[in-house]
Each structure stands twice: as structure tokens, then as C-alpha cells.
Structure 1
Amino acid sequence: MELGIAFLLKKTIAWLLMPMPLGMIVLVTAIWLLHIGNVRRATYFILGSIIWFAIVTHASISSLLLLPLESQYKKIEQVPSNVKYILLLGGDKERRAWEAIRLYKMIEGVKIVTSGYSRHDKLSDAYKASKLLVEAGVRAEDIVMQEDVKDTREEAAKMKERVGTGPFLLVTSAYHMPRSMILFQQEGLYPIAAPGDFNDRGEDSIWSLFQARHLQKTERAFHEYIGLLWIYLRGVIYHDI
């Protein structure tokens, strides 16, 4: 699938604003300052990068960043009877899929829509998610794939072709749900939030820093906040035109 320049530019800018690239930019700047002999300023940048990585890899910081996102929607316990589709958004399929499977077993005759394009290999996220679902006991005839969508906005537009204004269950990670709901509602859809994959906040020791799993959670939060900012800026731009 060919990716548009605007899409690639958006992804590149978003990547540069993530915790790891930001920290590496500071560190590379320090190396350059050392190279030109500005040791004093280089020391400040090195200390700054160490402090930055300590912050973004700390358990308490990552949990604090995710909490406002994950607390907006609760896990579904009672499912409306008129739902015919469960949309499982692409990404983190190993973590999100279990909520879709749980809901699938609660609703007679429902179909699961898997979504997502192929990023780095020949198999799309939608296809890989469908294989996981089948292995977990979902009937293959109850799975529909959307393999030609690159992001949440395109997933919403594609889903509108399928359900129109009818209700459906939207399954994604709890931290991703607020942005997803906004994008789907902007497309004139009526999703029912069904968050899964809530993050574990069990570890909050002051020494729980410089750990990759906490950096991953911080990156998830950054990604969502950047996405929400992008939605806001798009709204401001289009409102002013």
C-alpha cells in the first residue's frame, strides 16, 4: 500500500515528539557540543538527558499520564441487544483482542470487524488479528476484515460505509478510547465504547525507573496526547477557513 506524503509527514512529526527521540536529540546535541569543545554546556545537556529518561521511564509518571485517558470509559458489563458488529481497532491486537472475544461470546449473531493495514510485512494487522480470533474460538464466518485503512480516522470512515448510523461496539485499548470516540463521532457514527487492555498500576516505587515497560506506557500516553492535540488543531484550522 502506498502511503501519502501528508500521512508520512504526520507520522514523522509525531515520532519526533515521542519521549525516546526527544531524549536522543538532547543527547546528540551534547555530543556535538563536546565535539566543538563546549564542555560546560555539553554537561548540562547530558544531565538533562539523564533526568529526562529517568522521568519518562518511571512507573508513577507513566501511570499518571495514562490515568486521565483510561478513566474516561469503563469496561462494559451489559451489552445492548441491537448491536450487530464489534469493531476491533488495529494495533496491540494481542492485548485488545481479548475484550472483543469476551463481548463476542455475550452477543448472539454478532460479527467482529478487524482493522489495520500492513506496516512492515505482507500480512495486514486486520488479517493477523483475524487469525488470533479464530485460534481463540471465534468462527471465521463471523469475522470481517478492513485491510486498507492506515489510521483511526480511516477506520471510522470505512466503518461508516458498513453500519451507517447504527450502533456498534468499539473495542480498543482504554488509553486509546478517548481519541477514537472523538474521531468516530466526527464521522457521524454512534460507537459504544468498549475499552480493554487497562494498564497495571501496581508498581509505584520511587526506584521503579529506567525500565523499558514504563517507557512504553509513557510513549502510549504521548502518542494519544499528540493525537488529541492534532484533532484540536485540525478543528481550529477548519473553523478559521
Structure 2
Amino acid sequence: MFFYVSKIFWMIAAPSTLLPLIALAGLAVSLRWRRLGMTLATLGVVGLLLIGLGPFGRMLLVPLEGRFPPYSEDGRRVDGIVVLGGSELPGISAARGQPSFQESAERILAMGELARRYPQARIVVAGGSGRLGESPMQEADVVRMALPQIGLAEERVTFETASRNTEENARLAKALVKPGPDENWLLVTSAYHMPRAVGCFRAAGFPVTAYPVDFRTTGNPGYFRLFSSVAEGLGFFELALREWIGLSVYYFTGRIGSPLPGPQPG
């Protein structure tokens, strides 16, 4: 139920959907109540422009991406690597017959690089499908298609194909690999998503070391730097807003133990 509610909520609450709906509703209302209708229409249009051109999306992403520093060797043995799905485009992959990915494809590139750096490490790709309806391919199938392109043999990779969100990624990955208490596992996901992902793995009893990739900002919020287009700014804002909402919901429903998980001391 949680999965379906979250998906339906975001379909409506995403600013690129909600604000145009408010503007259109305002135009309709103005036919009878002009002042109220024009107020709503103005709110929708001005909101789109402010969010799309202003620095707000960048400002919201920077603290998420800065929560965990880039990974550096600490001398510990790496026993395993968990790569979270979500970068795949199953529909396009199925239609075109070749693996297709969105911006977070760095997760797959990092998997190939880490597999070569740590040849003894177990590798797990966690992720089934985050779609409401049926998908023509699973995320795992897209990754399988891409393995030859990154020089990684399929027998080295274990696929967890049932999870639909981050909480299920952590819980089902732990059940699949059964990590030992002294093992060191790297978690590969987008930097903005790392706080929620690490929080879920901790809650599942699966301690991991963060390996953030797919950075979207330089670390500078750029308070006075506008985006070049409304579409670009909206993309940043929705990415950040969705993650902040996810953190809040996961925290208040007990799926993570901290409102903004971060590195543990030591």
C-alpha cells in the first residue's frame, strides 16, 4: 500500500504537474469568480517561473549531496558491493534492443570500476521495478544487457529483482546476501539519494559504506545564479523535493532512524 500511495501522491504533487493544474483551475474559476481565478492562475504561473529559474532546486540538492563525502580507500577489505537500481530505462531498452539509462548511469559505471578494483568482492544489483504498472523489462534485465559493455562477467553479479523502493532494496538485499557482522560492503547510489539509502540499510541491519556517485551540483548552492531554462530548474527542484519528502516520510513511518542520516563517528 505504501508503494502505491507514494507513487500516486507524487504524480499529483510534483510541481511540474501541480502548478499548471493550479493555473488552469484558476482560469476556469475566473469565468465566475474573476479575482479568485486570476489569483490562482497567477500563483501557478509565477510559481513555475520562480521554481524553474530560481536557485531553489540547487539549494535543496547541495545539503543532500554533501551529507556523505566521496569514497576514499581506508585500508579495509571490501567484501561486497551493492548497486541500487533506478538508472535504467526498461521501456526504451526493450524497444531498442540495447541498454538505455538516464542521468544516474554512473551507478553502473561505478559497478564496473569497483568490480575490477576489488576482484574478490561480491556484487549485488538491487532493484526490480519502481513503476505502478507492468514494465516490459526489469531493471535487472537492462543491467544484464550492459554488463559486456563495462567488461563485467554476468556470473559475478547477483540480482535482487523484487524490490520496488529504497526500503525494500535494503531489506531484500540483506536477505539475499546475508552479510557477515564483520564484512565491509560498499553502497553505490546517487549522492542526493545516499542519506535515505544508508538510513534504510542501517534500519535493515545491513551496515554499509557510502560510495556516492551521480553528483548533480558542484557543492555551491549558487544563491544568485539562475537556471538557463524553466525545465532545467524544475528538474533540479523536483529531484530535491522528492528526496526531502521521502526522507521525511521514511523517518515518520519508522523506515529510517534519523531525519537526515549521515556518516557514523569512527
TM normalised by structure 1 equals 0.86
Q: Which residue of 2 aligns with 1:117?
A: 128
Deviations 1:29-78 (A, max 9, x none): 2133124x212222211221122112222362211010110001111131
Change (3 A) 1:222 1:157: same
Q: Which residue of 2 aligns with 1:44?
A: 39
Ranges in structure 1 where 5+ consecutive residues have no aligned partner = 237-241
Structure 1 residue 188 and structure 2 residue 199: aligned?
no
Q: CA deviation at 1:80?
A: 5.0
Q: Which residue of 2 aligns with 1:19?
A: 15
Secondary structure of 2:159 counterpart: strand
Q: Report the RMSD for the aligned CA atoms in angstroms.
A: 2.5
Q: Which residue of 2 aligns with 1:232?
A: 251
Change (3 A) 1:59 1:87: farther
Contact 1:130 1:145 (C-alpha < 8 Å) held by counterparts: no
Q: Which residue of 2 aligns with 1:140?
A: 154
In the alignment, the residues of structure 1 paired with residue 70 and residue 109 of structure 2 have an alpha-carbon distance, to the nearest angstrom, of 12
Contact 2:64 2:191 (C-alpha < 8 Å) held by counterparts: yes
Structure 1 residue 179 and structure 2 residue 174: aligned?
no
Deviations 1:118-169 (A, max 9, x none): 3352211122123223311112111111111111111111121213343311
| Residue among 198, 206, 214 paired with 1:197 | 214
| Residue among 171, 178, 197 paired with 1:163 | 178
TM normalised by structure 2 equals 0.78
Q: Which segment is superposed worse, 50-59 or 138-147?
A: 50-59
The one-letter amino acid of 2:206's match is: L
Change (3 A) 1:13 1:152: same
Deviations 1:195-233 (A, max 9, x none): 000014489575525432332221111111111111222
- The number of residue pairs the alignment matches comes to 232
Q: Which segment is superposed worse, 183-192 or 78-87?
A: 78-87
Q: CA deviation at 1:175?
A: 0.2
Percent of paired sites with the same residue: 25
The one-letter amino acid of 1:124's match is: Q
Ranges in structure 2 where 5+ consecutive residues have no aligned partner = 89-104, 256-266
In the alignment, the residues of structure 1 paired with residue 189 and residue 226 of structure 2 have an alpha-carbon distance, to the nearest angstrom, of 31
Structure 1 residue 70 and structure 2 residue 87: aligned?
no
